[in-house]
Amino acid sequence: MFRYLLRRAALTLPTFVALMFVTFVAIRLVPGDPVEVRTGERGISPERLAQFRHELGLDQPIWKQFLDYVWGILHGDFGTSLVTNEKVLTEFATLFPATIELSLAAMIFAVAIGVPAGTIAAVKRGSPFDHTVMGASVIGFSMPIFWWGLLLIMLVSERWGLTPVSGRIDLIKFYLEPTTGFLLIDSLMSDQEGAFVSALHHLVLPTIVLGTIPLAVIARITRSSMLEVLNEDYVRTARAKGLSPMRVIGLHALRNALIPVITSIGLQIGTLLAGAVLTETIFSWPGVGKWLIEGIGRRDYPALQGGIMLISSIVIIVNLSVDVLYGAINPRLRHGR
Amino acid sequence: MNLLEIENLSVDFETRSGLFRAVDRVSLTVAPREIVSIVGESGSGKSVAMLAVMGLLPKTARITADRLTFGGENLLGITPAARRKLIGKDIAMIFQEPMSSLNPCFTVGFQIGEALQTHLGLGRAARHTRSIELLEQVGIPEPETRLRAFPHQLSGGMSQRVMIAMAIACSPKLLIADEPSTALDVTIQAQILDLLVRLRDEKDMGLVLITHDMGVVAETAERVVVQYAGQQVELAETVDLFRDPHHPYTAALLAALPERATEKRLPSIPGVVPGQWDRPVGCLFSPRCGFAVDRCRREAPKPCGPDLGRALCHFPLVGGEPRRDLEPAGAAR
C-alpha cells in the first residue's frame, strides 16, 4: 500500500513541471503586461516605463524570469502580488476558505440529492421518476454556469426576493473577524445573532449554481452503477436473507455502487474549482476564483502563477487522496496492493 | 405433513417478444429431513423454480401454480413482508457462485450476524458467539479470525462454507442448495456435499439439491426430479431412477455417466436444448430422442403414472425399451 502511494505520488511530478511551464507561458501570451495595464490609456514616459519594468523584473530575459519563478516555488515562495504587494501565499490562504466553503457546500448538495435520486432511478428503472431524473441530469450537465447563475439571480433574488444577490454575508449588519475563514463556522462561534442564518442564506444560490453539474454527473453515475450492482449475486443473497428492501438497497447494494461515485467526486474537484471561478464572479463571492479573475484583468503575474499553481496542486493532491480513500470503502484494494 | 408442496408450478418471463416459459408445470414435494434433487442441464429451469419458491425472481416473472405451500402456508399470495419473515429463517438458499454471492464490502461476521439480528433479534455478543458456533459447524478453522475476514480473503470452498453458515444461521426447516459445488474444485465439491448431508442429519432440515451432476444425485438424494427445457420429465426415488429410468432423457443422462460407459467413447445426447424459438410442437425432447416416432413429434405427451416415474413420455422406457403398447395414464396425477 505504501509503495503504491509512493509510486502514485512520484507520477504527479511531471504534472507539476508541465503546470509550472504552462501557467508561466499562458499568462504571458495575453497581450499587455502589468505596467501597461496600470498606466492605462493616458500613457507613460518611456523612462518611467523602463523603471517600472525593471522594478518588477520584467526587463529580465524570459528564461531568467522562468527560472526565478521555478526557484521560488521550489523554496516555497510563490511571489508577491504586483497589485497588493502581499505575499501570494498569504492572499491565497485568506481567500481559499471562502472557495472551499462554497465548493464543499456544492458537493454536499450534489451528493445529498444526486445519490438518492440516482439510486431511486435505478431501482425504479423505466419509471416516470427515472426518466425525469435522467432528463433533468442532461439539462443540468449542459447548463452553462454563468447563464444558470444569472437566471437564478433574476428569478429567485430579483423577482421573488428570496435570496441575497451577492456576497457571503450581510455586511451592513454583521462584521466577523475571520478565525477559521469559514463563515458558517465563524458566525456560529460569534455571538452576533442572525449572522449564521445570514451566511447560510447567502450560500444557498451559489451552492445550487455550482452544484448543478456535479449533481447531474453523480445522479447518472449512481444510477448506472446501481443498475449494475443490483444484478450482482450478493444482492440476491441479501434478499434471500429476508432483509428489508431498504437494507438490501441502501446498505448492500449502495455500498458497492458508491465506489465509482467516489471516483467521480474526486475527479470533479477540478471541475468544481473551475466552476467556482465563474460562480464566485457572478455572486461576488470573495474567494480565490474571483481573485484570479481580477488578477487576469490586472495582469498580476505572480498572483496568477502562484494561484493557479496552488489550486492545481490541490486538485492533484485531492485526486491522489481519493485513490487512498478507495481503500476505506473497498476492502479489496486495502489488502490487494 | 410435507414441508414444501409444489403442484404445477409454471414461471413465465415477459420478454420483448412475448412470454417465455422457463418452468413448465413442475410438481414436487419435500418432506422434513428429506433430500430431493433437481437435475437438468443449464436452462432447464431448475434454479428458476426454486427462486420462485424463495420469491427472488425479478418482477418480470409471472408465477402460477395449482399449489405452492411451505409448512402449510401459501406462498403464492404472500405479502412481501410476510415472505421476508420466512426466507432466511425457515427457508434458506445457497447459490452456485460462492465468491460472488458474498458481499465484498462487508466482513464475514457482519454478513452472518445480519441474519441473526434480523430474524432472531440477537444482540452483539450473542451474535458473535453464535457466529463462531456456526463457522465451527461448517468446518471453518480459526472461526474467531475468519469473522473479521472479507470475502476476497477466502477461497471458494471457504466462501461456500460461509454461505452455508449464513443459510443455517436461523436453523431453517428447508435448505435449497443451487449447485452448491459446481464452481468448486472436485475435492472441495465432495466436502461441501458431505457437509450439507451432515447438517441435514444434525439439524433435521429438508434439503433441495439443484445439480446437473448425476453422480451427486446418486450419492446424496433420496428422490430426484429430472427437468428438461423447463418441464419435469421424471420424478422418482433415486434408487429406482438409477435402476430403471423411464424417460429417454433420464436414460440418456445416465448412459452419459463415465461409470456406466461400456464403450471407449462416452455416449452423448446429440443436439441442444430447444430455446424460446425452436420449441418442437410435440414432445420437447423428440428432436434429440433416439426412440422418437411420428406421434412424439406431433403431440405433446402427458405424464405417466407414479409407477412409471411420472415420465413425460408417450412411450416410457421399461428396462431400457420403450413400451409402445402402453397408453400413458394421462390424468393419473
pLDDT value of residue B89? 92
**SS percent in chain B: helix, strand, coil, step 5:** 35, 25, 40
Q: How many CB atoms lie within 10 A of CB A105?
A: 19
Which class would CATH give A89-336? mainly alpha
Please report the pLDDT score of residue B261 as a whole number. Answer: 73
Q: Which of A182-186, A316-320, B161-165, B321-325 has the highest mean pLDDT?
A: B161-165
Residue A84, C-alpha cell as written in the block: 497588493
- Measured between beta carbons, which residues in chain B are less than 8 angstroms from residue A256? 103-105
Chain A interface, best mutation among B103, B114, B166, by max A CB count within 10 A: B103
Please give the average per-residue pLDDT across B260-280, as a whole number.
81
Global ipTM = 0.87
Compute the average pLDDT of residues B130-150: 92
Q: Parse chain B into domains and list their residue ranges.
A: 4-225, 244-322
Q: Which residue has the cell 496542486?
A: A313
The residue in chain A having the minimum alpha-carbon distance to the alpha carbon of residue B54 is: A240
CB-CB neighbors (< 8 A) of A329 in chain B: 105
Q: Are A98 and A88 in contact (CB under 8 A)?
A: no
Are B101 and A239 inside 8 Å of each other by CB?
A: no
What would the pLDDT profile of A9-24 be if each residue is shown by its tens digit? 888 888 888 988 988 8
Residues 161-190 of B with CB under 8 A from A: 163, 166
Among A149-163, A177-191, B22-36, B153-167, the least confident range: A177-191
**Residue ranges in chain A whose pLDDT is less than 50:** 336-337
Residue among A233, A241, A256 whose CB faces B114 most closely: A241
**Residues in contact with A175: Cβ distance below 8 Å, sequence separation at least 6, in sequence order:** none
The C-alpha cell that represents B189 in the structure block: 465439491
Q: Distance (Å, rounded) from C-alpha A72 to C-alpha A78?
A: 6
Return the pLDDT at B333.
Answer: 38
Q: What is the pLDDT of residues A77-117, one digit of tens each?
A: 888 888 888 899 999 999 999 999 999 999 999 999 999 99
A239 touching chain B per CB within 8 A: yes
Domain B4-225 has CATH 1.10.760.10: no
Is residue B22 within 8 Å of residue B273, measured between CB atoms?
A: no
Residues A213, B1: Cα–Cα separation, whole Å: 61
Domain residue spans of chain A = 11-74, 89-336
- Strand B223-228, strand B35-39: pairing: parallel
Per residue in B79-115, pLDDT (tens digit) is 999 999 999 999 999 998 888 999 999 999 999 999 9
- The answer to whether residue B66 scores a pLDDT higher than 50 is yes
Does B58 reach chain A within 8 Å, measured CB to CB?
A: no
In chain A, residues with a C-beta closer than 8 Å to the C-beta of B56 are 236, 239-240
For residues B205-220, give the mean pLDDT.
89
- The single residue listed with the C-alpha cell 430422442 is B289
B326 pLDDT above the threshold of 70? no
Nearest to B94 by CA among B31, B33, B50: B50
Q: How confident is the model at residue B330 (pLDDT cuts 50, 70, 90)?
A: very low
Q: What is the pLDDT of residues B234-254, one digit of tens each?
A: 999 999 999 999 999 999 888
pLDDT of the residue at B331: 41
CA distances from A304 to A26, A83, A257, A291, A315 (A): 10, 11, 39, 9, 16
